[in-house]
Each structure stands twice: as structure tokens, then as C-alpha cells.
Amino acid sequence: MSGRVPESSRTPWPDRTDRTDRSYRAGYADRSAGSTDGGREPEPAGTPQTKESSLTLDRGLNLLQAVAEADSAAPTISDLATAVGVSRAAVYRLLGPLQTRGLVRREGSRVRLGLGVLWLAGRVLPQLRFASLPALRELAEHIGATVHLTVADGNEAQAIAVVEPSWTSYHVSYRVGTRHPVHRGAAGRAIDLTEGGQRWVVSTGELQQGAYGIAAPVRAVPGLRASVGVIAMEPLSPDEVGPRVTATADAVADALR
């Protein structure tokens, strides 16, 4: 039953920060020519352009979201123009950069999500593991039981991070990638607990005979349906373990925001 703590991918997000600062360089150039207003630094040049770039980026992201959320798998240009609230011509302009990066693809007047979205999605799970491991490890070591982070994937729940305690003689060995119906087991049922209601879920033998589980939802992380759970081969005290699992779920949420 024992096992070593699985290692997770700790590859951080690539640093893609755009450090282009032409507007500030222009501002510094003005300062080097001498100040004429009592030493007060002039406002950086190009601010309107920066605001316009931000607006364009926001519209592009809105367009990508509209493609993803459309009732049709391939919405038309007109559908997208209505959804985003811009002209058809603006939709064509916004599609250009998204197509270049493989995030969308056009089929005549229709638009579908591109494979670039799949690549981005594949980079999410390693980041979730990396961010959640410290909190999961602390809980596993404290209560002496296996702890896992589980996310909803359609109608299934998938364990994407698992930490086993280092000091116990035996404990449950739970594999990363384990899947089960989202409506079964503490981890699955905890995912969709509503705010202000039940704080955690307790299960006994729902997924594995003789196994006990307690799980709490990871809340307030946009786009994420997840839970933190504990699994053991002996009964767990809900009054003792439940609040600790909930606190760990909150810590994971803080790490992901």
C-alpha cells in the first residue's frame, strides 16, 4: 500500500512577458532634453496607443471566447460579430492574429477553435500540479493520509496531483490520472458544492471497497472545477479532517489565482 510521493512536472510558465516599452523610452528621451516644469517628469508618450492595444487584445480574447462558447461548433462571422458587439470587418481583423497562432481556423465564413488551444490546455495541468503541491504536501504530512487534487473533465473527475505521507507505515497508493464519474466519490461530488452550503463531502467505499474519503471544493478560480481530497483505508473524522481539507482547498485556490 505504501508508495513514494510522486514527482510532478515543475516546469513554470515560459516567460513570455512583452517588455516592449517604446512609450517609456520616448518619455525618457524628453527628460534627457531637460525639464521645463519645475523638475516634474513628463507623462510617458504613447498612452492612447497603449490603451488602444489593450482594447484590441480584450476584443480578441472576447472573440476567442465567443468561438468556444458558440452554440454551433463552427459559428459564422456574423454570429461572432453579434456575440462580440463589433462589425464583421472588425471580426476579420481580430481573427488574423488568432489564426496565426493556431487558436482558431477559418472554413469559409465559419470559424472553429484551432489546435493551438489544445496545446495551451495541455500546459495547464503541470501548472496546477506545481502550484498545488506545497499545500497538498502539508496536509498529507499532517494527517498521515494520501491527498489529491482532482479536476472535472466533462462528466469525469481526474486526479492531477497526488501526495502521499512520508512517515506512515502504510497508506493508500493513488495514481495521477485516475478517473471516475464526477458524481461518485467524495472528490467528484465535492467539485460542485455551492458557496454557503455544505463545506465538504464524506464517502465510504464508493470507488474502492474499504476506502474512506473526505473532499472539499477549490472555489473562486475562474474556469476551474476542482476539489482537494483525502483518501485512507480507515475511517476519517469529518470534524477533524473536514476543516483541514477545506483550508487546504482554499490555500490551493489562493495559489492558483
Cβ pair 211, 205 in contact under 8 A: yes
Report how far apart, in Å, the C-alpha atoms of 43 and of each of 37, 38, 46, 139 are.
12, 14, 9, 50
Whether 233 has a pLDDT exceeding 70, the answer reads yes
Please write the tens of the pLDDT for every residue from 165-190. Answer: 999 999 999 999 999 999 999 999 99
252 vs 48 pLDDT, higher one: 252
138 vs 124 pLDDT, higher one: 138
- Average pLDDT estimate for 128-143: 97
Pick one of 3.40.50.150, 3.20.20.60, 3.30.450.40, 3.40.30.10 as the CATH number of 122-256.
Answer: 3.30.450.40
Alpha helices in the chain (DSSP H): 22-32, 47-69, 77-84, 88-100, 115-143, 185-190, 238-256
Domain spans, the chain: 22-31+44-113, 122-256
Which of 2, 255, 233 is closest to 133 using CA atoms? Answer: 255
Q: Do the first three CATH levels of 22-31+44-113 and 122-256 match, i.e. the same topology?
A: no
Tell me the pLDDT band of 118, cut-offs 50, 70 and 90.
confident
- Average pLDDT estimate for 226-250: 97
Whether 149 has a pLDDT exceeding 70, the answer reads yes
| pLDDT value at residue 29 | 42
Whether 163 has a pLDDT exceeding 90, the answer reads yes
Whether 107 has a pLDDT exceeding 50, the answer reads yes
Q: Which helix (H) or strand (E) holds 158?
A: strand 156-163
**Strands laid side by side in the 212-218 sheet:** 179-181, 156-163, 146-153, 226-232, 212-218, 201-204
| pLDDT value at residue 38 | 45
- For a pLDDT cut of 90, what percent of the chain falls above it? 71
Tell me the pLDDT band of 121, cut-offs 50, 70 and 90.
confident
User: Could you tell me the fold of the domain covering 22-31+44-113?
Assistant: Arc Repressor Mutant, subunit A (1.10.10)
- Average pLDDT estimate for 103-109: 95
Q: The pTM is what?
A: 0.68
Tell me the pLDDT band of 46, cut-offs 50, 70 and 90.
low
